[in-house]
Chain A
């Protein structure tokens, strides 16, 4: 009997359409585009700051305060929350399990710890930014 194993083809471009699990993963990974966008924005902001003239900096701030940009930031915030923060915090206990004797610390405790740390870090940033 001759062997002739058959290899099923897989699409390199549409494989993630196979099931909901892969689609959700891709929605999470798409956040890299937003990260890229904010990296560019930070570079533009720094360039405006480095120019040393208040006009350039004010112009940069003004460019972020119109309705379109506020909407972009709001959508980006929600998208990051849903597909990055919630997902990664949920997965954190897998990457960092805490064992106490024979028992593992419940995953929920680690997840809640992350949310608390997030709130604290956010408050510190708001405080540094002079918002509170």
Chain B
């Protein structure tokens, strides 16, 4: 198997010593089938043990290895060295504070995730001695939105979130939409506040970058636009004579 020398420029930041991040270059002998994550692992194991970064599964499931690769948010386990030039720049996900090196602080999204109530809410008691049934077509209404691995690449691509981090953002709104579309759920009204609020769906101006970078083709931009349509219909229903208030 052929070896290719890759110049890996990695953003480094040590909160105890650095005032601001800087880049450090490593020359990595990459094998043909390596992903960028393999190259970073090589650095950690052979060149510089102090490098901090997150990863776990190496197969697009855990969503923890999202980073900026040549300026594009992407899962490093999904981005192959063979598809990139000889010089690759790796930075921590944009729009998040840097904890250390390639590790970002995700507290803001975690807090937002809680606000979206991403679980099935029932107003009526569950059916006795019976599981909730769901037809295949009802499942297909939201299945695509269950594929999100919370890698947060969409937040890094979103200029709206970059400019105003109070925006709830693509992945969390998509997850809320996923539960709103679920035929077993009755919690749509509970999720209405944070979604219809000034920091909810209407803050999105449909740049569409979230969907373009999503490594799981979840298409958060679509979910958000559908929520806008839903919101507008609900609003008109309330305004029409005899509408519910």
In this complex, what residue of A is CB-closest to B13?
A6
Give the residues in chain B near A18, CB-CB below 8 Å: 71
Give the residues in chain A near B18, CB-CB below 8 Å: 6
Contact B98 A102 (CB under 8 A): no
For the complex, is A44 an interface residue (Cβ under 8 Å from B)?
A: no
Contact B208 A15 (CB under 8 A): no
For the complex, is A52 an interface residue (Cβ under 8 Å from B)?
A: no
Stretch at the interface among B58-66, B113-121, B133-141, B186-194: B133-141
CA A109 to CA B63, docked complex, whole Å? 34
Q: Number of contacting residues on A, CB 8 A?
A: 28
Asked, given contacts A6-B20, A22-B207, A101-B137, whether A15 binds B97 with beta carbons under 8 Å apart, the answer is: no
For the complex, is A1 an interface residue (Cβ under 8 Å from B)?
A: yes
Contact B209 A7 (CB under 8 A): no
For the complex, is A29 an interface residue (Cβ under 8 Å from B)?
A: yes
B98, B141, B157, B206: most-surrounded residue (chain A CB, <10 A)? B206
Chain A, residues 1-44, CB within 8 Å of chain B (1/0): the string is 11111111010100110110110010001000000000000000
Please name 20 further chain A to chain B contacts, defined as beta carbons within 8 Å, in addition to the given A7-B98, A15-B159, A102-B136, sorted by A numbering.
Answer: A1-B16, A2-B16, A4-B16, A5-B97, A6-B18, A6-B98, A10-B162, A12-B163, A15-B163, A19-B72, A21-B207, A21-B208, A22-B159, A25-B205, A91-B221, A94-B211, A95-B222, A97-B222, A99-B137, A101-B137
Q: List 8 A-B contacts (CB under 8 A).
A: A2-B16, A6-B97, A22-B207, A25-B208, A91-B208, A99-B140, A99-B141, A103-B140
Q: Which residues of B contact A (CB under 8 A)?
A: 13, 15-16, 18, 20-21, 71-72, 94-95, 97-99, 105, 136-137, 140-141, 157, 159, 162-163, 205-209, 211-212, 219, 221-222, 225-226, 228-229
